[in-house]
Amino acid sequence: MKEILYNYDNLKKEDITETVIRVKILLINEQNEIMLGYCDNIYQFPGGHLEGKESFIECLKREVLEETGIELNAELDNKKPFFKISYFNRDYPSKGINRSSEVYYYYLKTDKQPDLNKVNYTENEKIGDYEVKQISIDNIEKVLIDNIPSNSKNKVITPEMIEVIKEFIKINTN
């Protein structure tokens, strides 16, 4: 598994007072399209924060169902993450907390289609007109880059997504 740590505040591991873990997944269909959520002019891979004592896989299954209506079962059970991006942030979010944010990325090739009758969007996702899009892997980098001006958060999110997509392509073409 490839790992990247962004530590612009030069924190040491012992300086960290809180750790937040998220899992995200690249869902790729037979047409080589990647499924993305699109909300508030931001593209994201399906996924989210671990809740309680759930495992990474349990979290992925829950988040994918909530965001796409797709039920993933045994096809995920033996999957391992292929990429991890961590951030060490001082005083985040301005509450005296030094946070480690860890994001673990998985991928799954599947032709399961979104089922909007099964989604469970958050209020923010409803307000932001959340929708599911499938974008060709050949065109996805351009789509993401062209979307950067649409929301200031894209300046951080888009490069991370492109890094993940490039790693996915690399390990699947060798």
CA nearest 61: which of 74, 80, 44?
74
Per-residue pLDDT of the chain (174 residues; tens, 9 = 90+): 999 999 999 999 999 999 999 999 999 999 999 999 999 999 999 999 999 999 999 999 999 999 999 999 888 888 999 999 999 998 877 778 899 999 999 999 999 999 878 887 777 777 777 889 999 999 999 999 999 999 999 999 999 999 999 999 999 886
* Span 2-173 CATH architecture: Alpha-Beta Complex (3.90)
Helix 154-173, helix 140-147: angle, nearest 10? 170
Domain ranges of the chain: 2-173
- pTM equals 0.91
- Distances in whole angstroms, Cα of residue 37 to Cα of each of 7, 61, 72, 89: 27, 15, 17, 26
Phi–psi pair at 119, nearest 5 degrees: -70, 160
